[in-house]
Amino acid sequence: MTEKEKAEAGKEDCEAKVIKVTTDYVAERRAHVNALRRTTETNQLYQNRLDMYGKCFQILYDEYELLSKARTSDLERIDEIEARYQQDEKQLREAAE
């Protein structure tokens, strides 16, 4: 083998190694980008789920507040009715005497 042939063979070998290293690097980067993309999509799904849970909680809390207000006003009405009943009962006793 002549020096020229050795140089040519070395050059081809070097080019093959560069192509392999470059191809491996690109494949590794693609895998990394795909993993990041999946992670980002998963994070977005979790964020959407958290937003949905937050909205559901807010709706339930609003309903709880409405029911609490309704119950408080119902209790106040019951107290008023009891007071009127006791007053009416007192007036009936006085009228009976």
Please give the pLDDT value at position 92.
84
pLDDT at residue 28, as a whole number:
94
Place of tokens 């980067």: 29
Which pLDDT does position 23 carry in this prediction?
Answer: 92
Report the C-alpha gap between 86 and 83 in whole angstroms: 5
Please report the pLDDT score of residue 5 as a whole number: 77
| C-alpha–C-alpha distance, residues 4 and 38, integer Å | 51
Q: What is the mean pLDDT of each run of 10 residues along the chain (97 residues)?
A: 75 85 92 93 93 92 87 82 88 81
